[in-house]
């Protein structure tokens, strides 16, 4: 309630008898309820999200002795159902879902059709098993709807931590729990828990702080050396990234890269790392010091960024770095979004002088097709192949993969070499270049430069 409304009610209270004031407040409440009851979904006649939040908050505040939970229901494949079975069938499924939810109606329960194929249930409960039973029963009732397509409902559950917890926050948390299992046919429900809360806080920190990190040079270039296994000499490196957070210390990429990929800021981080690589190589060239190629990673989001190829060329010119000193590492995921467009851009950069390296070879299903269609210069064999050499079959597979790549006239680098026996087997197969913890871990640029100068 707004402060102006509260002041108005105080004035009215002063001028009315106790009985008249109670009657006035009762009338206000009934008017609000009548207005709420008009806020129903046209299709399912369940409360819309605005009315739902009002009624749920009212139930929780008026019944502080009860425990409440929010259940959000969503379908993993509803758009496909509309496409293949028709919109009328999709609408009928939504009505069937609403009617199934009504069978669970009891005192203090509030039901809602939020939007499209998303529903909400606000309910009191005694233990978590009750909430699981609600999800299971609803799933069974929805499965009774006759449709020539597999329906995949999922349920996210958030338990209120206090009688004053925000209904909108409960809904957000339930959606977060739902998103963790949506589309996984083997998981029907998930509870919001502390692990999700910690991840949510971390993700929010990343989104809030990354712009400042880019502006204040907190995004650091690390380099993992590539080594000639016969001589032990460092003959290359791979550019990696670390975040030097002023409060949390060094943040590893596994914590922030997935978040940045979702919001598109990974492009800004990539460009920041690329610039540091070109600057490092350009300075060492100008000083007459030893340089080795340092490869950079191309994120799949760059398929939608038409300017990234020109940015690479501009950096090469700005820092006077020959493009062959900065190989471009790509994974197959970079080609899955729009193969034609990415192939075109890679050819453009290759013609300018950049070398192309296929990262994580063997970790995806389409690598062989990419070898056939794309003019790569180098193949990086995935760590999984190296881990499997403990078995005879694993050794045979890796040996034949190396023979095939060599027969194509491509350079080979093996990732994840961590033991002497792995090094020895690779040398037996005629493979000389590798990177991995057996030789060096990723290191700050000062340490990498000291390694080259030594």
48-85 pLDDT, tens digit each: 888 888 888 888 888 889 999 999 998 877 777 766 77
User: For residue range 126-174, what is the model confidence (pLDDT) as tens digits?
Assistant: 998 999 999 999 998 988 888 777 778 889 999 998 888 888 889 989 9
Average pLDDT over residues 331-337: 59
Top-confidence residue, 45 or 157: 157
**Residue 83: count of CB within 10 angstroms of its CB:** 12
Q: Name the token pair of 306.
A: 């038409």
What confidence score (pLDDT) does residue 46 get? 87
Burial class (CB in 10 A: 0-12, 13-18, 19+), 387: middle
Domains plus CATH for the chain? 39-192 (3.30.70.270), 204-453 (3.20.20.450)
Place of tokens 């501009």: 314
Q: How far apart are CA 398 and CA 303, in angstroms?
A: 31
Collapsed DSSP state (helix, strand, coil) of residue 134: helix
Average pLDDT over residues 200-221: 85
The closest alpha carbon to 171, from 112, 223, 125, belongs to 112
Q: Which pLDDT band holds residue 9 (cuts at 50, 70, 90)?
A: very low
Q: Which pLDDT band holds residue 194 (cuts at 50, 70, 90)?
A: confident
pLDDT score of 16 more than 60? no
Q: What is this structure's pTM?
A: 0.68
Q: How far apart are CA 305 and CA 328, in angstroms?
A: 16
Top-confidence residue, 301 or 185: 301
Average pLDDT over residues 409-426: 93
Task: Note whether 224 and 239 are within 8 A (CB).
Answer: no
pLDDT score of 3 more than 60? no
Q: How far apart are CA 101 and CA 118, in angstroms?
A: 12
For residue 385, CA distances in Å to 49, 119, 296, 379, 397 come to 51, 46, 23, 13, 8
User: Helices 3-15 and 18-37 meet at what angle, rounded to 10?
Assistant: 140
User: For residue range 372-393, what is the model confidence (pLDDT) as tens digits?
Assistant: 666 788 999 988 888 888 889 9
* DSSP 8-state assignment for residue 343: H
Tell me the percentage of the chain whose pLDDT exceeds 70.
Answer: 85
Q: How far apart are CA 343 and CA 334, in angstroms?
A: 10
pLDDT score of 266 more than 70? yes
Q: What is the DSSP string of 263-287?
A: HTTHHHHHHHHHHHHHHHHHHHHHT
Q: Average pLDDT of the chain?
A: 83
What confidence score (pLDDT) does residue 360 get? 81
């Amino acid at each position: 309630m707004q402060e102006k409304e509260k002041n108005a009610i105080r004035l009215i209270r002063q001028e009315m008898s106790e009985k008249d004031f109670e009657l006035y407040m009762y009338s206000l409440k009934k008017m609000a309820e009548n207005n709420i009851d008009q806020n129903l979904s046209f299709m399912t006649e369940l409360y819309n999200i605005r009315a739902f939040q009002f009624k749920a908050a009212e139930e929780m505040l008026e019944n502080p002795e009860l425990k409440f939970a929010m259940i959000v229901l969503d379908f993993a494949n509803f758009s496909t159902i509309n496409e293949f079975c028709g919109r009328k069938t999709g609408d009928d499924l939504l009505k069937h879902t609403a009617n199934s939810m009504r069978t669970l109606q009891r005192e203090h329960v509030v039901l809602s059709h939020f939007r499209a194929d998303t529903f909400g249930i606000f309910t009191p409960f005694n233990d978590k098993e009750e909430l699981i039973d609600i999800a299971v029963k609803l799933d069974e009732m929805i499965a009774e709807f006759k449709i020539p397509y597999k329906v995949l409902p999922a349920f996210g559950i958030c338990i209120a931590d206090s009688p004053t917890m925000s209904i909108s926050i409960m809904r957000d948390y339930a959606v977060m729990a739902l998103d963790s299992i949506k589309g996984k046919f083997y998981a029907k429900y998930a509870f919001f828990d502390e692990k999700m809360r910690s991840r949510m806080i971390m993700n929010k920190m990343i989104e809030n702080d990354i712009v400042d990190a880019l502006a204040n040079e907190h995004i650091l270039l690390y380099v993992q050396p590539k080594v000639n296994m016969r001589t032990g000499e460092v003959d290359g490196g791979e550019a990696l990234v670390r975040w030097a957070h002023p409060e949390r210390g060094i943040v590893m990429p596994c914590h922030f890269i997935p978040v940045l990929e979702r919001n598109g800021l990974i492009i800004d981080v990539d460009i920041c790392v690329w610039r540091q690589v070109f600057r490092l190589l350009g300075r060492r060239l100008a000083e007459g010091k030893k340089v080795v190629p340092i490869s950079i990673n191309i994120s799949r989001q760059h398929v939608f960024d038409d300017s990234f190829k020109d940015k690479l060329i501009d950096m090469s010119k700005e820092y006077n770095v020959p493009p062959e000193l900065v190989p471009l590492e790509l994974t197959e995921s970079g080609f899955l979004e729009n193969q034609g467009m990415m192939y075109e851009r890679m050819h453009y950069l290759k013609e300018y002088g950049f070398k192309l390296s296929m990262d994580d070879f063997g970790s995806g299903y389409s690598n062989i097709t990419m070898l056939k269609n794309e003019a790569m210069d180098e193949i990086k064999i995935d760590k999984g192949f190296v881990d499997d050499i403990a078995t005879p079959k694993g050794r045979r597979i890796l040996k034949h993969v190396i023979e095939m790549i060599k027969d194509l006239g491509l350079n080979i680098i093996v990732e994840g070499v961590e033991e002497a026996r792995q090094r020895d087997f690779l040398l037996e197969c005629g493979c000389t270049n590798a990177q991995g913890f057996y030789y060096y871990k990723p290191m700050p640029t000062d340490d990498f430069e000291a390694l080259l100068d030594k």
